[in-house]
Amino acid sequence: MQLQGGMEACRRPRTTVAQSSTTALNADLSKELGAQAPLGFFDPLGLVADGDKDNFDRLRWVELKHGRIAMLGVVGYLVTYAGVRFPGAEDIPSGFAALDNLPGMVWAQMIATWSMMEAANQDQYAGPWGTNQNALGESPAEFKGDFRNGFIDFGWDKYSDDQKMRKRAIELNQGRAAQMGILGLLVHEKLGNVDQLLPPHF
């Protein structure tokens, strides 16, 4: 009887874990941020077909981050195409041609800048890239990608929950558009007709 009772006790937690895992894998992702008109929840490759919420949140953060980088990329491309240069870099062309004309020191400065931006744009209340919790305490971040770290606000805390979701959706959509935009600019540059999209030194 004791053996049977012990076996039953061992079985109960496993059942609870299994039920919890099943719930996590059956999350309704159609109501998540980014699932909006006209496509709604759009997952043609089935990346989150199993309903894994943790995997969905990771992919959503990857999309948000790539969108932010693409927005910077579009602005940088347009600014350099317009002829704006730092002092001493007036002879460096824009677009892909710049890669073959950048001095080694400029490459070093760029890599250092990227590294600092990557280190700064993190949840400082968590370990590097969210690997663990550090000694700073509970993170004030409201979502993955919220890097205010209790330092800057710009009125965010005054928004209602609906306004916050709207602002986040706007950023996500602008990031999606920027990803398509920078890809289009680079493709047309390689095709040799980017000047048909952008007037010379606009």
Residue 111 has pLDDT above 70, yes or no: yes
pLDDT at residue 18 in the model: 41
| Amino acid type, 101 | N
pLDDT at residue 69 in the model: 93
What are the residue ranges of helices labelled H in the chain? 2-25, 53-81, 104-120, 161-191
Closest CA to 61 of 150, 168, 160: 168
Phi/psi region, residue 141 (left: phi>0; alpha: psi -120 to 50; beta: rest), is beta
Digit-coded pLDDT (tens) for 44-101: 888 888 878 888 888 888 899 999 999 999 999 999 988 898 888 889 998 999 999 9
Prediction pTM value: 0.75
For the chain, the average pLDDT equals 79
Digit-coded pLDDT (tens) for 124-166: 777 655 555 556 667 777 888 888 777 777 888 889 999 999 9
Q: Tell me the two tokens of residue 178.
A: 């920027």
Compute the distance between CA of residue 155 and CA of residue 81 in angstroms, rounded to an integer: 34
DSSP annotation of 83 reads T
